[in-house]
Amino acid sequence: MKKNRFFVFGLISLIFALTLAGCKENPKALAKQTYDLTQDVLANPLKMVGGLVKAANIKKKVDKLSPADKQIYNEELARLTGQGEGEPGILGGLLGGNSTAVGETLSALLGAIGNLNTSGAAPTAPAGETAVTSTGSGGKTEKSSTGGKTAEKNTSGDMTWTAIKDSPFGRGSINAIVYGNNKFLAGGGIAANGVVDFAYSTDGVTWTRVDVTSIFGIGYGLISIEVIAYGKDKFVAAGKKTIDDKVNIAYSTDGETWSLADVTSIFTGPGINLPSVETIAYGSNKFVAGGQKGRMAYSPDGVTWTAIENSSLDYIHAIAYGNNKFVATSYGGKIATSTDGITWTAAEDSILKKNGMEAIAYGSNKFVIVGSKGIAYSTNGETWTQTDVSGIFGLRSPSAIAYCKDRFIAGGSVGTMAYSTDGITWTAVTDSKFGTHSFNAFAYGNGTYVAVGAVGTMAYSKDR
């Protein structure tokens, strides 16, 4: 998703947050300066602080742009980052997200982020900790229909969300969350001083930071935590590499003490600019991980990993397990299925070719994918049906999804959230407490749903 979801997103947010408005200078030139600056910091994360100074200078110019020039600036920035293409653009590929979702996430960040945190400290999360029941317009139900598939927008909803105050993540992006062993674990990017955003909670409300810098920090193989999975009494986490050219997967039984498994030889190679493990799923008594250029690996214990020779995919963005089957997604509508997580069979569907896939989940006897064109579902992972959620998400396509307890929860940019018990009929959440921020991941445990996303935003909803 998913995710809109990463340290790089946090890094992008720090730089791009200073560059939204405009000036009378050439808006395309300013967009190019923004892009070049981002690329420079991506290549060397240690340049982040200096990059912020340069970004501030760009902002002074961008602040003077007319509305028309702002539009030109945003369009050019979207073009440079690869928004709207079937394959990731230059920056889209580096970020490891679908290009359309990358562009939309950046747009959301541009309009949303205020204060910056480069010290590694944990400032107070955005205000809004008071729960507000989503009552909408007197409980009115709206429906839209395309091709016989109906998506329901119930503006009353039955999920009440509360913002988590004093999030330990400060303003950094929270990319992943999981529940296991009676606790939640959440992880994200790395601040300018190398402190890793990582924390745990037993109730999903009160969070405690865990110092895992020696495992995940700069110089130890990662610049962001992209995914956390749980299975076989063990947490497994992974993400993007740092400047030492290593790709590590880390494992832990308690979420606090971690050990490394070096998978560099599996996830690096020709054509891979920023090696990463993008996704991990557990099923059939094994963990299965995926990354760029179709690189995949499996492990029975999260410690010893074996490369999968032919995944039938290119850039693996998400994997889910259900009904005795793994389903993995890639760019361009490509998917693959496997009954054991080792031998994969390619499958293509015309609906998915039009749907930039960001995240996938299994529940209610079906797989559900979210992406740039909305939501699609399948009972076998091979034949897919689109469901119309334009009345809920509009142009803010969903980028994160999870099956939590008895429902799917999906989220996109600008705080847009919806839930569904069957993956077909969706109900909008009127007030997600995310404001203008984007969702990256969801989890459920101990009677609590937890949502995480950009700018350190966290919210929870209790069972009713």
Secondary structure in 3-state letters for the chain:
CCCCCCHHHHHHHHHHCCCCCCCCCCHHHHHHHHHHHHHHHHHCHHHHHHHHHHHHHHHHHHCCCCHHHHHHHHHHHHHHHCCCCCCCCHHHHHHCCCHHHHHHHHHHHHHHCCCCCCCCCCCCCCCCCCCCCCCCCCCCEEEEEECCEEEEEECCCCCCCEECCCCCCCCCCEEEEEEECCEEEEEEEECCCCCEEEEEECCCCCCEECCCHHHHCCCCCCCEEEEEEEECCEEEEEEECCCCCCCEEEEECCCCCCEEEECHHHHCCCCCCCCEEEEEEEECCEEEEEEHHHCEEEECCCCCCEEECCCCCCCCCEEEEECCEEEEECHHHEEEEECCCCCCEEEECHHHHCCCEEEEEEECCEEEEEECCEEEEECCCCCCEEECCHHHHCCCCEEEEEEECCEEEEEECCCCEEEECCCCCCEEECCCCCCCCCEEEEEEECCEEEEEEHHHCEEEEECC
Read off the pLDDT band of 176 (50, 70, 90): very high
Residue 42 lies in a domain: yes
Residue 356: predicted pLDDT: 64
Read off the pLDDT band of 371 (50, 70, 90): confident
Report which of residues 339 and 196 the model is more confident about: 339
Q: 44: domain range?
A: 7-112
* Residues forming a β-bridge with 239: 225
Residue 423 lies in a domain: no
Residue 24: predicted pLDDT: 54
* Residues forming a β-bridge with 279: 290
Would you tell me the crossing angle of helices 27-43 and 48-62 to the nearest 10 degrees?
170
Read off the pLDDT band of 78 (50, 70, 90): low
Residue 452 lies in a domain: no
Number of domains in the chain: 1
* Lowest model confidence (mean pLDDT) among 25-29, 136-140, 165-169, 353-357: 136-140
pLDDT of 98 over the 80 cut: no
pLDDT of 67 over the 80 cut: no
Report which of residues 246 and 437 the model is more confident about: 437
What's the average model confidence in pLDDT over 373-377?
Answer: 88
Residue 242: predicted pLDDT: 53
pLDDT digits 0-9 by tens, 443-458:
999 999 999 998 889 9
pLDDT digits 0-9 by tens, 223-258:
678 899 999 999 999 877 655 567 778 999 999 999
pLDDT of 341 over the 60 cut: yes
Q: How large a percentage of the chain has pLDDT more than 70? A: 66
Residue 355: predicted pLDDT: 55
* Residues forming a β-bridge with 346: 336
pLDDT of 412 over the 80 cut: yes
Read off the pLDDT band of 145 (50, 70, 90): very low
What's the average model confidence in pLDDT over 320-332?
Answer: 91
Residue 404: predicted pLDDT: 97
Read off the pLDDT band of 97 (50, 70, 90): very low
Residue 26 lies in a domain: yes
Read off the pLDDT band of 7 (50, 70, 90): very low
Residue 372: predicted pLDDT: 78
pLDDT of 325 over the 60 cut: yes
* Lowest model confidence (mean pLDDT) among 80-84, 98-102, 322-326, 401-405: 98-102
Residue 96: predicted pLDDT: 33
What's the average model confidence in pLDDT over 29-38?
Answer: 74
CA atoms within 13 A on the CB side of 343: 2
Residue 39: predicted pLDDT: 60
Residue 92 lies in a domain: yes
Average pLDDT in the chain? 74
pLDDT of 1 over the 50 cut: no
Residue 94 lies in a domain: yes
The candidate with the shortest Cα–Cα distance to 308, out of 321, 324, 325, 291, is 291
What's the average model confidence in pLDDT over 327-347?
Answer: 89
pTM value > 0.75: no
Most confident of 247-251, 259-263, 377-381: 377-381
Residue 419 lies in a domain: no
Structure tokens at 406: 């008895």
Residue 361: predicted pLDDT: 98
pLDDT of 134 over the 50 cut: no
pLDDT digits 0-9 by tens, 105-130:
333 333 323 222 222 222 233 333 22
pLDDT of 218 over the 60 cut: no
pLDDT digits 0-9 by tens, 81-95:
543 333 333 333 333
Residue 106 lies in a domain: yes
